[in-house]
């Protein structure tokens, strides 16, 4: 099925199931805190692996003890789609395994 931009209502419903995620302009976004810089870097690498698997890539930033990402879908002109939420759900699972909060 081709990707379509989600409506504001669709986005809000999906965000309600993903605590910590929010709408930042035309992107969905989340930041995580980790216990060390190395732990944060490990999470970045793991997220990169999942992004290649899904063929969907966020803007991913490594901070001191933090990882932050924002994502939308380039192929529909930078709108939020179901694919962005698929990535967000996968990242949530990963992040919890890495002890991120
Ligand atoms: C050719 C390749 O499938 C596309 O460029 C993919 C790769 N990763 C992507 N990532 C994101 N966030 N949006 C896209 O539209 C997208 N398209």
- ipTM for the assembly: 0.93
Which residues contact ligand 1 via a Cβ below 6 A? 55-57, 71, 73-75
What pLDDT band is residue 31 in, cutting at 50, 70 and 90?
very high
Query: So what's the pLDDT on residue 5?
Result: 98
- Does the pLDDT of residue 1 top 80, yes or no? no
Distance of CA 85 to the CA centre of its chain: 7
**Counted domains in the chain:** 1
CA of 36 to the centre of ligand 1 (A): 30
* Cα dist from 1 to 4, 73, 82, 83, 96, whole Å: 9, 15, 11, 11, 30
In a domain, 77, yes or no: yes
User: What's 25's domain CATH number?
Assistant: 3.30.1360.20
Expressed as residue numbers, the domain containing 81 is 8-97
CA nearest ligand 1 atom 9, residue = 56
Q: Say what the pTM is.
A: 0.96
In a domain, 2, yes or no: no
What pLDDT band is residue 2 in, cutting at 50, 70 and 90?
confident
Those residues whose C-beta lies under 8 Å from the C-beta of residue 75, and which sit 6 or more positions away, are 3
Mean pLDDT, the chain, whole residue set: 97
In a domain, 68, yes or no: yes
CA of 73 to the centre of ligand 1 (A): 7
Report which of 28, 37, 38, 35 is spatially closest to residue 91, judged by C-alpha positions: 28
């Amino acid at each position: 099925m081709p990707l379509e931009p989600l409506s504001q209502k669709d986005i809000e419903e999906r965000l309600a199931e993903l605590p910590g995620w929010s709408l930042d302009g035309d992107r969905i976004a989340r930041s995580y805190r980790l216990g060390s810089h190395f732990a944060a870097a490990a999470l970045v690498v793991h997220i990169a692996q999942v992004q290649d698997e899904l063929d969907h890539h966020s803007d991913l930033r490594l901070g001191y003890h933090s990882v932050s990402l924002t994502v939308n879908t380039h192929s529909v002109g930078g709108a939020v789609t179901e694919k962005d939420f698929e990535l967000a759900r996968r990242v949530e699972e990963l992040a919890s395994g890495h002890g991120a909060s």
